[in-house]
Amino acid sequence: MKLKKYKDYFNKIAVFYNSSSANYWNTITPCAVNEKPSGLGKYYLDFISKADFSGKFDDRGVPLYRYGDSEPFHHPIVICQYALGLFEKYIQSGYKDAELKKRFLNQADWLVSNVDEQNNLKGWFVNYDIPDYKLKAPWFSAMAQGEAISVLTRAHLLTAEKKYLDAADAALDIFTLPVREGGVVNYFKDIPVYEEYPSPYKTVAVLNGFIFSLFGLFDIYLHTKNEKAKELFQQGVDSLKRLIKFYDLGYWSQYYLFDYPKKYPASYTYHLLAAEQLKAMFALTEKEIFKEYSDKWFLQSRKFYNKTRVLFSKILYARKLSWSDTG
């Protein structure tokens, strides 16, 4: 395990008892909405901490990511979260900070200029292998597509430039096809799920990645009344309502359903992220089931016994993915 992984490993432990110690990758991003928005604006989680990216940038000010021992490269999720952090800071400036606006639009322009295409599907590739999921680069991620749509619709909101909507609209087709056909739809107990990690081996169903994809679908419908996006969002909401019980351990949440029925508790950061996301989903949909689980998981996160139980289970029993950049 390299030094970076050791640091991340111990930071994830520290965060269980002191959330203020979280590094960039483990920061808490609280829900930023209390009611269903009437128009596009703030993102649904407060991503302002994601604007403080401390890694390398390319010459256009776009962040670069390192996976393992790789050379720095462009990762669409890292770029989109950085962009959404910049957008939040721009809102807090009263839409007056021209430099923040420029930096945000640089990220959106990167997305427009770097659309990938495979099997007549357009989106943004993730370019590394994940052997545990039998994922071979390049591959599309529902989370990356959803967050890209969230960035692009806000770029259109600021500029009215059609190129941003064209790129966002083109990314919707990925949500209509199963993984075996190049899309991002897998099934858990015959329930469709939009996959952050579209494994051809079996359904992974990472909860937070699924919900981030829904935020993007909601954004483009909210901004343009796109009927395809509305249908895809509603399908996702219906799936989430049916799936949510499988993520509940009674004392904590599951990170994913890849090894179900094996218990795979989320890290403290991802447990709180899911609670914050469900709080936002309740605001967007007014579905009580999302509030029920959000409230339940927030309460669980404050109990010392629960945190300690999860921490020890992850240290003693969980697979190595528990301490990677994912779980």
Whole-number Å distance between alpha carbons of 263 and 238: 24
Q: Would you tell me how many other CB atoms lie within 10 Å of the CB of residue 59?
A: 5
**Residue 320: pLDDT band with limits 50, 70, 90:** very low
pLDDT, tens only, 18-42: 776 678 888 889 999 999 999 999 9
Q: Tell whether the model's pLDDT for residue 9 goes beyond 70.
A: no
Domains of the chain listed by start with CATH number: 3-323 (1.50.10)
Rg (CA), the chain: 19
Low-confidence winner among 87-96, 233-242, 260-269 (lowest mean pLDDT): 260-269
Closest CA to 117 of 66, 170, 187: 170
Residues 29, 50: contact at Cβ < 8 Å?
yes
The pLDDT, as a whole number, for residue 318 is: 47
Half-sphere exposure of 17 (CA within 13 A, CB side): 8
DSSP string, 289-320: HHHHHHHHHHHHHT-HHHHHHHHHHHHHT--G
- b/e sequence 102-121, b meaning 16+ C-beta within 10 Å: ebbbbbbbbbbeeeeeeeeb
In this prediction, residue 310 carries a pLDDT of 92
Task: List CB contacts of 19: < 8 A, sequence separation 6 or more.
Answer: 28, 268, 272
Cα four-point dihedral sign 234, 297, 283, 47: negative
Of all helices (H) and strands (E), which one includes residue 62? none
- The pair phi, psi for residue 116, each rounded to 5°, is -95, 155
Mean pLDDT rounded to a whole number for the chain: 92
Asked if pLDDT for residue 159 goes beyond 80, the answer is: yes
* Distance from C-alpha of 143 to C-alpha of 213, rounded to nearest angstrom: 5
**16 or 188, which is more confident?**
188
Work out the average pLDDT over 88-98.
Answer: 97
- Residue 91: pLDDT over 70: yes
The C-alpha angle with vertex 139 and arms to 124 and 69, in degrees rounded to 5, equals 95
Residue 3: the pLDDT is 55
Helix (H, G, I), strand (E, B) or coil at 178: strand
pTM: 0.93
For 167-177, the pLDDT digits (tens) are: 999 999 999 99
Q: What is the pLDDT of residues 123-141, one digit of tens each?
A: 999 999 999 999 999 999 9
